[in-house]
Amino acid sequence: MNVRLYLRQSFTLLFGNGAAQLVSLVSYVVLARLYAPAEFGGFALFLTIVGVFGPVACGRFDLIIQSAPDRQLPALIVKARRANILVSITIGLAGLVLAAVTNEASALEGLLAGLGVFLTGW
């Protein structure tokens, strides 16, 4: 196994995860100024949905990329993107159905959940 390749891919994932956490931290400060505390319940539900289904959307591609040779990466990326699109559309449609059945959630929230899962997987 090529140690340099493994370390390069590991640092890429580490940097991407750190950047995502930084964006999340900054967004909380902005959102705390814009919304009331009661509205954060819906936001927490959204983050839970995206946090659970986001990694599933790509079949945990972040674990595969570290051990895959460079020649196999394009095929893995295509498979991960197809799975991501399928899971994201399913989550978006499930949100639309839930909004139609319960009348408590809006259709926009269901579509945003699907979009959030898609962007997390992308």
- pLDDT tens digits, residue range 9-64? 888 888 988 998 899 889 888 888 888 877 878 778 888 888 888 877 777 666 66
Do the Cβ atoms of 8 and 2 come closer than 8 Å?
Answer: no
Mean pLDDT along residues 90-108 = 79
The reported pLDDT for the residue numbered 61 is 66
DSSP code of residue 3: H
| CA torsion angle 97 103 109 115 (round to 10) | 10
DSSP code of residue 71: G
Q: What does the alpha-carbon distance between residue 53 and residue 75 come to, in Å, rounded to a whole number?
A: 22
Average pLDDT, the chain: 80
- At 17, the amino acid letter reads N
